[in-house]
Every structure is written in structure tokens, then in C-alpha cells.
A and B are shown apart, each in its own frame.
Chain A
Amino acid sequence: DTGVSQDPRHKITKRGQNVTFRCDPISEHNRLYWYRQTLGQGPEFLTYFQNEAQLEKSRLLSDRFSAERPKGSFSTLEIQRTEQGDSAMYLCASSPDGFSGNTIYFGEGSWLTVV
């Protein structure tokens, strides 16, 4: 199976620590997205890349959050100085290009618990 893969699947960290999540999109997909999902809510858009270029960032993405996609392949999402409010599932997704009718394929998510 060559779907979207995310690592780690679960992360427990102490408040104030930094965490990094990795996402490997479907091969040859140019678009890569990050979403955040909290309990009882739908996923919320954070940011997306077209190849290596980060094209849009949500207001949800505070200065403590940074995302990269070097070489237009895998992506990382780093959260610095974590807070309890950062506890959520971070979903990565990819699509072939930016056509708005394209299917977006999601990974299984990375659960973050900040204690």
C-alpha cells in the first residue's frame, strides 16, 4: 500500500517540549496538506504545500508551528514549546494537484498528547 504515511502515530510530551511529525505523501502527489483535529470536531486546515513551496497558512498556525517540505517530497510539522491546547490529532494529506475537485487522501494521523 502506498498511501499517505505519518510518523509517529502517537506522541506524549511534556509541556514546553518540542515535537516533530513526519509525513510521506503518495508518490507523485504535488499537493501536501496538514490538518488538525480535536475531539468531537472536524479537521481544521493548517497549511499546504505545492511541491516545496508553502502556499498558505491558517491563522491557527501560530508562530510556534513550522512546516517544511524540502525537495517537495516528505514534510515535517514542528511544534515548539508545546502547550496543553496543542493536544490533538495532526492529519497529513496529499492530492495530485490543486484542482478543487480532486480527492484528498489522508494519512492515519499523529496523535499528540501534551501533559
Chain B
Amino acid sequence: AQSVTQLGSHVSVSEGALVLLRCNYSSSVPPYLFWYVQYPNQGLQLLLKYTTGATLVKGINGFEAEFKKSETSFHLTKPSAHMSDAAEYFCAVSLTGGGNKLTFGTGTQLKVEL
């Protein structure tokens, strides 16, 4: 069975600072990896995903993530935080042959301070 661990349920950064949200996964087969963002009282919006190919994936709003198989990680980064980035971020995994069914981490709440 697959699982996702997000280290740090709350992360606080200053506006303009680097954003780093951590995600580690466990899987017996090569995974597909996703980052979603959720704003208050809303559904989830895809930021980026890794399926195959280049391990550095660029997404919307200036976010990117790097798939590191040896570390079983898929950390999300953004060079310069903006106030509008304040939201909850979820890492998720799906498996080949798993029916495109996502398993989510518990989420990281990002706070951006002036």
C-alpha cells in the first residue's frame, strides 16, 4: 500500500522568502506524484504533477517540485513567497494500475507574513 508523509503541518515564511514544503512517499511501484492547493472553503486545485520524464516539474503560480527516487521525496518549492500563496497544500500519490485513485498526505498550512 502507498502512503504520503508531509513534514510540518504548519509552515510560516516571510513575503519574498523561499517556500519549501516537504513530501515523502512510500510505494512498492513507481508512483505518480501530485501537489494540490486548497484555499479556505474551496476544493482542490492542481499545482503540478510528476508522471514520467524530467524529474524537475514546474507548475502554476511559480511553484516547482523535484522527484527524487533515492530519497522517496517530492518537495514543493517557490523562490519567493507572495501573500496570495497562503493556503493549505496537499501532496498525493497514485499508482500504476491503481485506478487513478489518489492517496493524500495530511496537508501543510502555509502562512505568509509581511
Q: List A residues at the B interface (Cβ < 8 Å).
A: 4, 31, 33, 35, 40-45, 48, 55-56, 91, 95, 97-109, 111
Contacts and interface: CB of A to CB of B under 8 A. Distances in A.
Contacts of A4: 43
A39 to B, nearest CB: 10
B42 interface: yes
A105 B92 CA distance: 13
Interface residues of B, number: 30
Contacts of A55: 99
Interface in B69-95: 90, 92, 94-95
B63 interface: no
B94 to A, nearest CB: 5
A105 B4 CA distance: 20
Given A43-B44, A91-B43, A99 B100 contact: yes
29 contacts: A4-B43, A31-B100, A33-B101, A40-B106, A40-B107, A42-B92, A42-B104, A42-B107, A43-B44, A45-B103, A48-B101, A56-B99, A56-B101, A91-B43, A95-B100, A98-B99, A100-B94, A100-B96, A100-B97, A100-B101, A101-B51, A103-B49, A104-B100, A106-B36, A106-B43, A106-B45, A109-B41, A109-B43, A111-B41
Q: Which 4 A-B pairs have the closest CB atoms?
A: A42-B104, A101-B51, A106-B43, A108-B43
